[in-house]
């Protein structure tokens, strides 16, 4: 019991958890992904600045994660997990900076079915 309370305190005090407060439907998910910023002109380069990170919170429409990729409001990111069951683009809707990391909330550009299951 004490260890789960400590884990809960660590999660709730993370920078991503602080951003998740603004997304009432956000649930912890811990999904490893590769995230890359999609270039505005795809003729130049399909994607730049790729890195592995973990989606820490999600809603049916949004993902929240921390990364070192320099992202700004309105940027488009490509998210893909290792088995390809999540392979989508999302637009950055919120950004916070914390100790050299970018804390990001991004909204899917298309409907992604069953990527997160919410309890009834």
**Looking at the predicted structure, is the pLDDT value of residue 118 above 60?**
no
Q: Mind listing the pLDDT tens digit for each residue in 58-94? A: 999 999 999 998 899 999 999 999 998 899 999 999 9
For 1-53, write each residue's pLDDT tens digit: 444 444 444 445 789 999 999 999 999 999 999 999 987 654 444 556 789 99
pLDDT of residue 95: 95
What pLDDT does residue 103 have?
Answer: 95
Query: What are the DSSP calls for 36-91, one per residue?
Result: EEEPSSTTT-S-EEEEEEEEEEE-SSEEEEEESS---TT-EEEEE-TTSS-EEEEE
pLDDT at 3: 43
CATH of domain 2-108: 2.40.10.220
For position 119, what pLDDT does the model report?
Answer: 53
């Amino acid at each position: 019991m004490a260890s789960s309370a400590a884990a809960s305190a660590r999660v709730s005090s993370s920078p991503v958890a602080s951003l998740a407060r603004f997304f009432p439907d956000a649930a912890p998910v811990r999904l490893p992904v590769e995230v890359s910023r999609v270039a505005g002109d795809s003729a130049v380069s399909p994607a730049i600045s790729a890195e592995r990170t973990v989606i820490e919170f999600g809603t049916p429409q949004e993902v929240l994660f921390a990364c070192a990729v320099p992202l700004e409001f309105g940027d488009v990111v490509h998210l893909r997990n290792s088995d390809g069951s999540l392979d989508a683009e999302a637009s950055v809707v919120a950004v916070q900076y914390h100790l050299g990391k970018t804390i990001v909330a991004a909204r899917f550009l298309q409907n992604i079915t069953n990527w997160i299951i919410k309890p009834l």
